[in-house]
């Protein structure tokens, strides 16, 4: 389990900074929520 989490987190890093690429099939499918505007 920890290796899977580690691999998923590595997909989200670019030069050591968090920068998820939601065009990546794995990241897009595993995303539960992301920045959106609140409903008015």
DSSP string, the chain: -HHHHHHHHHHTEETTEE---TTSHHHHHH------PPP-
Q: Residue 5: its pLDDT value, please? A: 92
Task: Give the pLDDT confidence score for residue 2 in this predicted structure.
Answer: 94
Rounded to the nearest 5°, which phi and psi values hold at 14?
-130, 115
| pLDDT score, position 34 | 74
State residue 22's pLDDT score. Answer: 86
The pTM of the full predicted model, rounded to 2 decimals, is 0.61
Q: Taking the chain (40 residues) in consecutive chunks of 10 residues, what is each chunk's mean pLDDT? A: 92 91 89 72
């Amino acid at each position: 389990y920890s290796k899977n989490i580690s691999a998923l987190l590595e997909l989200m890093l670019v030069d050591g900074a968090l920068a998820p690429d939601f065009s990546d099939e794995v990241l897009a499918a595993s995303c539960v929520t992301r920045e959106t505007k609140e409903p008015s």
